[in-house]
A and B are shown apart, each in its own frame.
Chain A
Amino acid sequence: MSMPASMPAVRFRGVSRFFGDVRAVDDLSFEIADGEFFSLLGPSGSGKTTCLRLIAGFEQPDRGGIEIHGVDVAGVPPYERDVNTVFQDYALFPHMRVGENVEYGLMIRKVPAAERRKRSEEMLALVKLEGMRDRKPAQLSGGQRQRVALARALINRPRVLLLDEPLGALDLKLREQMQIELKALQQRVGITFIYVTHDQGEALAMSDRLAVFNHGRIEQVGAPAAIYEHPATSFVAGFVGVSNVFTGDAARKLTDAPGAFAIRPEKLRLLSENMPAPEGWVSRSGAIASSVYLGAATRYVVALDAGVDITVMQQNADDRNRGPGPGVRVTVAWQARHQQPLTDSSVDRR
């Protein structure tokens, strides 16, 4: 390979995109490495889809610049960019058969029919849709349409594949299956996947790295475990997984120290009131306020005597133990290292 391995697939340099008064994307700078499965995670309206559209070329930045494999793409229209997109609604051409949809990019590039046919057969096999080439999109299920959209994008051998919430319209079981298939596919074809989602579980399960978006800015970039275990801001702590977030007064009541922190419910242990906490653990007493049985685990809300509520998740490892009911006095214990100090969210700072 002639290019240095460190060349990022996509680089944002101070990119902003405004819609009227709304800063959809606000002064973003980040890099996505070549061959990476990178997720843009955030609530709706956080700017993640706009970022994807900026890379695809459907939007142009108002400020800053974007490089794709080291080339500044300012003013380059979508049809001249070496990226392809899997759209949220799949955007299959309703008047074309599956085969024609998949071959569309090759047909536009005037690839001979025989080669088109050969490559589309390969692609349909890759997404397990052999024998479907003569169907119309309307005759396919949601999962099958999703695969056609994937095949139609991948057949062009893009260096970067953009996916805009491609699993959003599928039911839960199919979504979980497609998550595994997509990840396996990405490792097989070895190209950069940039994946937009609002589903934190999906982002954690599939990504090499992810960026957490909020109000047009990135709150944190990192590997899934790093984001989950060490959320940098209260927004990330609350959006990725469930957290007990303590700021200001609440933090002071619990720790006698000012700084805000978060602690995951599964890191907390519920003990009988008179049972001593393990050596070196922090413990606080309180009473069960509510308990919800969730199958694999039970979620308790404990009203601590310090005056704050804390959520505790306990694995239901033992079927004989029904767990304490509301009003029962308990001790909540945790290791101090699981307290994750937070800085304010970048939005709050503004």
Chain B
Amino acid sequence: MIGASLRAPRPGLFHRLSSALYLHPRLLLLLLLTPPLLWLGVIYLGSLLSLLLQSFFYIDEFSGVVVREFSLATYRQLFTLSNFDIIRRTAGMAAAVTLAAAALAFPLAYYMVRYASTRTKALLYLAVMLPLWSSYLVRVYSWKLILAKEGIVTWLAQQLHLGWLLEGVLALPVIGGPSLSTSYLGTFLVFLYIWLPFMILPIVAALERVPRSLIEASADLGADHRATFRKVLWPLALPGVVAGSIFTFSLTLGDYIIPQIIGTSEPFLGQAVYRHQGTAGNVPMAAALTVVPIVIMVAYLAVARRLGAFDAL
């Protein structure tokens, strides 16, 4: 009697469905993957494709109406000197921000993984991510106040009798300017601040996967710290650095708010897209400008791959 009641199937549609799914794992997989694939395929890649298509349309210069015919006219316009300046400026900034972020993030990530106690590590994680929880705009405007001519940085420099140093830095060509908040240096500092967590976290993840014994084995085989870093630690952390750099690089390429608030009046890519899209109504040009960072990122990943960034994956 007891045996029979144990073996009796529980009735109900839900039970039968779950049995069917258990016996047909492919069906379950299909069910689970359909929503994300639809999202990726239609909404994400679909809109990207339509953007690409838009870039092959062109705007009629007299009427200001978009002509929906295939043409390379927009791309011809893209490669004018002023647009090239924008691209160079933005890519240069993205590269500088990425390099600086990697240089700042690596030692911190290494400390978090190799030395910090569980408690310190949790606190550091919190410290890295805490800024991400507050408003991006608020943080950028705070930096405007910090970097302004009347701001705390100038004040502090004067208190420390280092006003000459700040002025010297601001007098440098290209990166300098009337004040930090109206120079490329200021834009750079804010970009670095805003995107740094996106570099730290992937490097931490990569270093977590390097067992301590590998570092010890390298030392055991005669390598000092420098050699161990070059031959073992860096190659194994590289996928994390590249992952982080994809974030910092592409986020800097696409951002239009930070250079709007802090920096010179020279436009960055994002601002140019914004202007063509909004006031000018030149959607084909905006689309063509958006293709630029995509091409830059593809080229960047290809180079990273050739350098062996993904060998240790």
Contacts and interface: CB of A to CB of B under 8 A. Distances in A.
Contacts of B311: 95
A50 interface: no
Contacts of B231: 93, 104, 107-108
Given A94-B236, A94-B312, A95-B312, A79 B224 contact: yes
Q: Is the interface of B mostly helix, strand, loop or mixed?
A: helix
A56 interface: yes
A91 B216 contact: yes
Contacts of B129: none
A120 to B, nearest CB: 13
A56 B220 contact: yes
Band of interface residues on A: 20 to 34
Contacts of A56: 216, 220
B282 to A, nearest CB: 48
Given A91-B211, A91-B214, A95-B312, A84 B220 contact: yes
Contacts of A143: none
List the 9 closest pairs (A to B, CB-CB), nearest first. A91-B217, A91-B213, A105-B221, A78-B219, A95-B312, A108-B222, A85-B220, A108-B223, A79-B222
Contacts of B223: 79, 104, 108
Which of B214, B218, B220 lies at the interface centre, i.e. has the most chain A CB atoms within 10 A of its CB?
Answer: B220
A83 B219 CA distance: 11
B235 interface: yes
B33 to A, nearest CB: 28
A109 B223 CA distance: 8
B222 A58 contact: no
Given A58-B216, A87-B216, A95 B236 contact: yes
B227 A108 contact: yes
B232 interface: yes
A264 interface: no
Given A78-B216, A89-B213, A109 B222 contact: yes
Given A87-B216, A89-B213, A109-B222, 12 more contacts: A77-B224, A83-B220, A84-B221, A85-B217, A85-B220, A91-B214, A93-B232, A94-B312, A104-B218, A105-B222, A152-B221, A156-B221
Interface residues of B, number: 19
A93 B220 contact: no
Interface in B223-243: 223-224, 227, 231-232, 235-236
8 contacts: A56-B220, A77-B219, A83-B220, A104-B223, A105-B222, A107-B231, A156-B221, A156-B222
Contacts of B227: 108
B285 to A, nearest CB: 44
Interface string B121-135: 000000000000000
Nearest to A95: B312
Contacts of B224: 77, 79
A108 B219 CA distance: 10
B211 to A, nearest CB: 7
Interface of A: 56-58, 77-79, 83-85, 87-89, 91-95, 104-105, 107-109, 152-153, 156
Contacts of B232: 93
A92 B213 CA distance: 9
Nearest to B239: A95
Nearest to A103: B221
Contacts of A152: 221
Contact of A104 (B221, B235, B236, B312): B221
A109 B231 CA distance: 13
Contacts of A153: 220-221
Contacts of B216: 56, 58, 78, 85, 87, 91
Contacts of A105: 221-222
A87 B221 contact: no
Contacts of B221: 79, 84, 104-105, 108, 152-153, 156
A304 to B, nearest CB: 46
A79 B214 contact: no
B72 to A, nearest CB: 44
A58 B222 CA distance: 13
B237 to A, nearest CB: 11
Contacts of B222: 79, 105, 108-109, 156
Contact of B219 (A79, A92, A94, A95): A79
A107 B227 CA distance: 10
A95 B235 contact: yes
